Amino acid sequence: MAKQNDIKYLTSTRVEKRAKKYCRFKKLGIKYVDYKDAEFLKKFVNDQGKMLPRRITGNSLKFQRKVAHAVKKARQMALLPYVTDLLK
Amino acid sequence: MVIFTPVLAEDDFKAAQKKFSDLIKEHGGVVTYANPWGLRSLAYPIQKKTTGLYVVLEFDAPTELIAKVELQLNRDENVMRHMVNKLDKHAVAYNLRKRNKNTAEVVAS
């Protein structure tokens, strides 16, 4: 009987090593999220103009909240669309 | 930040800007910075128009003034949409830095 650790694979098993996510605001020392800068806010929404979750952006809670507020303000002032297709 | 209707002529646009900055000054406010963005396409149509004239004003004002300004903004037919925001200390620092950068570029070019 082969034990568990006796099993050898011919090709090494593929374990993806992803780059660790980081909060870009903390790393770059940005303290204020400007709602007037639509190009910058586009990084945090998907093609349909929906906000990306923290799971994907890697923002810290504090800044995700600020981004959310900024995006909502930008939408009110017609800098970002509420709904769309192919934003980028 | 105010969006005016795009049908305004250049002079009317300037007059409208002046009207609101004067209104702020009259009631004891200080306009720190005025940045007319000018004509810009909107992300979605407002009042069946696809473009708007944007103006960003940064000002210090006592609390009572805000209500007065908002009243005037709501009454004015040329104003399609407006937004008044309170700026925290980071925002003020950010605006100041951005402003200085822009002026430096102008001087350099």
Q: Domains in chain B, ordered, with CATH?
A: 2-108 (3.30.70.60)
Q: What pLDDT, on a 0 to 100 scale, did the predictor assign at position A4?
A: 63
Q: What is the pLDDT of residues A36-81, one digit of tens each?
A: 888 888 888 888 888 889 888 888 888 888 889 888 888 888 888 8
Q: Looking at the domain assignment, is residue A63 inside a domain?
A: yes
A5: in domain:
no
| Structure ipTM | 0.74
- Interchain CB distance below 8 Å, A78 and B94: no
Q: Is the pLDDT of residue A1 over 70?
A: no
Domain assignment of residue A30, yes or no: yes
pLDDT of residue B9: 76
* Distance separating the N- and C-terminal Cα atoms of chain B: 28
Give the closest residue to A31 by CA, choosing from B57, B95, B59.
B95
Give contacts of B52 with chain A, Cβ < 8 Å. 78
Number of compact structural domains in chain A: 1
Q: How many residues does chain B have?
A: 109
Question: By a Cβ cutoff of 8 Å, what residues of chain B touch chain A?
Answer: 1, 3, 42-44, 46, 52, 56, 81, 83, 85, 88, 90-91, 93-94
pLDDT for the residue B63: 83
A69 part of a folded domain:
yes
User: What is the C-alpha to C-alpha distance for residues A69 and A73, in angstroms, rounded to an integer?
Assistant: 6
pLDDT of residue B52: 84
Q: Please check the confidence at residue A2 and state whether its pLDDT lies above 60.
A: no
Tell me which chain B residue has its CA closest to the CA of residue A74.
Answer: B43
Greatest Cα pair distance, chain B, in angstroms, is 42
Distance from CA of A28 to the nearest CA of B (A): 14
Query: Does residue A15 fall inside a structural domain?
Result: no
Residue A67 to residue A30: CA distance in whole angstroms: 12
- Residue A17, in any domain of the structure: no
CATH number at residue A65: 4.10.640.10
- Contact B1/B83 with Cβ under 8 angstroms? yes
Q: Is residue A71 part of a domain?
A: yes
> What is the reported pLDDT for B105?
63
Return the residue in B46, B55, B86, B94 with the most chain A beta carbons within 10 A, the one to mutate for interface testing: B94
Q: How far apart are the first and last CA of chain A?
A: 57
Q: What number of other Cβ atoms are within 10 A of residue B87's Cβ?
A: 15
Range of the domain at A85: 22-88
- A18 pLDDT higher than 60: yes
Provide the residue-wise pLDDT of chain B in tens; the chain has 109 residues: 677 777 777 788 888 888 888 888 888 788 888 888 878 888 888 888 888 888 888 888 888 888 888 888 888 888 888 888 888 888 888 888 888 877 766 665 5
pTM > 0.90: yes or no: no
Q: Is residue A8 part of a domain?
A: no
Chain A / chain B CB contacts < 8 angstroms: 37
Measured between beta carbons, the chain A residues lying within 8 angstroms of B93 are 31-32
How many angstroms away from the CA of A73 is the closest CA of chain B?
A: 9
Alpha-carbon gap, residue B5 to B78, rounded angstroms: 5
